[in-house]
């Protein structure tokens, strides 16, 4: 059984519902050994006024609460301090400062906003999909090549939002570029995330698809991180049984006990 969830949002994230303590209690009740909080930190505001998830006080509140719960629940579960940083390829220096200011266990890198427009806000029926996908994948490649992180999150996220508008996107059509991202992760010692949230959104595969996971393996990838991307207690560790079957069928291992500052991990 996969006993770690490496992508969880607490109510510190503006799009999440439950406070950290409730998330930890639910994880304990499910028998998890680790819960890794990866609340959002976003570069760029998507046109919103002020800073959206990019205030440093906000990170200090997250760190304080996670570390406090870690000690309180230390006999039952490890409460990990992580962060999901969006668009870090455009703010490498600032990312380093934030990452260096707190004792993070794990950094997830994401690309949510192409051209400072959140992927959820595009009109996919009126957008040139081929160029948008190319720009999106080029941004992911830039993150993979240049940023300081541990795992690349939901690399086919763009499918989710297009699907809501009945537009089906296959990033697999850009095989050479996708493979280049995967190879770069392997060469730089970074991991690829298997994000199970797709199953809750009417997809029949995880993010990424089985095909991309096979390419990751072919490019030399051995280890994945598994995350539910839950924004509420009910979704923690959702569909991990299916993820476990798939990952082991592909001969991949699941990351656990990862502590980036201590250079330790197990699979």
| Residues at the site binding Zn ion, with contacts judged by CB under 5 A | 84, 110, 229
Cα separation, 37 vs 23, whole angstroms: 9
Q: Which is nearer to Zn ion, 125 or 235 (CB)?
A: 235
Q: Which is nearer to Zn ion, 17 or 76 (CB)?
A: 17
Which contacts qualify for 118-125: CB closer than 8 Å, 24 or more apart? 118/46, 119/157, 119/158, 119/160, 119/161, 120/161, 121/46, 122/161, 122/162, 123/165, 124/161, 124/162, 124/165, 124/167, 124/169, 125/165, 125/167
Of all residues in the shown chain, the one whose CB is closest to Zn ion is 110
Q: In whole angstroms, how close is the CB of 197 to Zn ion at the nearest point?
A: 8
Q: Which is nearer to Zn ion, 110 or 184 (CB)?
A: 110
Cα separation, 136 vs 50, whole angstroms: 25
Cross-strand partners of 114: 117
**CB 161 within 8 Å of CB 169:** no
Cross-strand partners of 80: 36
Q: In whole angstroms, how close is the CB of 251 to Zn ion at the nearest point?
A: 27
Q: In whole angstroms, how close is the CB of 265 to Zn ion at the nearest point?
A: 21
Cα separation, 194 vs 228, whole angstroms: 9
Q: In whole angstroms, how close is the CB of 158 to Zn ion at the nearest point?
A: 11
Q: Which is nearer to Zn ion, 251 or 258 (CB)?
A: 258
Q: Which 8-state DSSP code applies to residue 12?
A: T
Q: In whole angstroms, how close is the CB of 175 to Zn ion at the nearest point?
A: 23
Q: In whole angstroms, how close is the CB of 148 to Zn ion at the nearest point?
A: 18
Radius of gyration of the chain (CA): 17
Q: Which is nearer to Zn ion, 71 or 205 (CB)?
A: 205
Q: Which is nearer to Zn ion, 110 or 151 (CB)?
A: 110
């Amino acid at each position: 059984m996969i006993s770690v969830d490496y992508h969880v949002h607490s109510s510190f994230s503006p799009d999440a519902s439950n406070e950290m303590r409730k998330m930890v209690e639910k994880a304990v009740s499910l028998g998890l050994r680790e819960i890794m909080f990866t609340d959002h930190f976003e570069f760029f505001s998507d046109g919103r006024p002020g800073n959206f998830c990019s205030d440093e006080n906000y990170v200090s509140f997250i760190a304080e609460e996670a570390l406090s719960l870690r000690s309180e629940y230390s006999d039952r579960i490890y409460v990990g301090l992580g962060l999901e940083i969006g668009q870090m390829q455009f703010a490498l220096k600032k990312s380093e400062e934030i990452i260096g200011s707190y004792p993070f266990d794990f950094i997830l890198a994401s690309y949510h906003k192409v051209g400072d427009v959140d992927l959820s806000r595009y009109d996919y029926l009126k957008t040139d999909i081929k160029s948008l996908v190319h720009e999106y994948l080029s941004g992911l490649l830039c993150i993979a090549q240049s940023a300081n992180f541990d795992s690349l999150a939901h690399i086919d996220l763009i499918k989710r939002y297009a699907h809501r508008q009945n537009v089906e996107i296959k990033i697999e059509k850009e095989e050479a570029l996708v493979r280049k991202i995967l190879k770069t992760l392997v060469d730089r010692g970074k991991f690829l995330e298997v994000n199970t949230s797709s199953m809750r959104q009417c997809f029949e595969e995880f993010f990424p698809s089985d095909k991309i996971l096979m390419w990751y393996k072919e490019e030399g990838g051995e280890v994945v991180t598994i995350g539910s991307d839950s924004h509420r207690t009910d979704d923690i560790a959702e569909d991990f049984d299916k993820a476990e079957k798939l990952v082991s069928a592909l001969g991949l291992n699941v990351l656990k006990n990862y502590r980036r500052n201590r250079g330790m991990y197990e699979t």
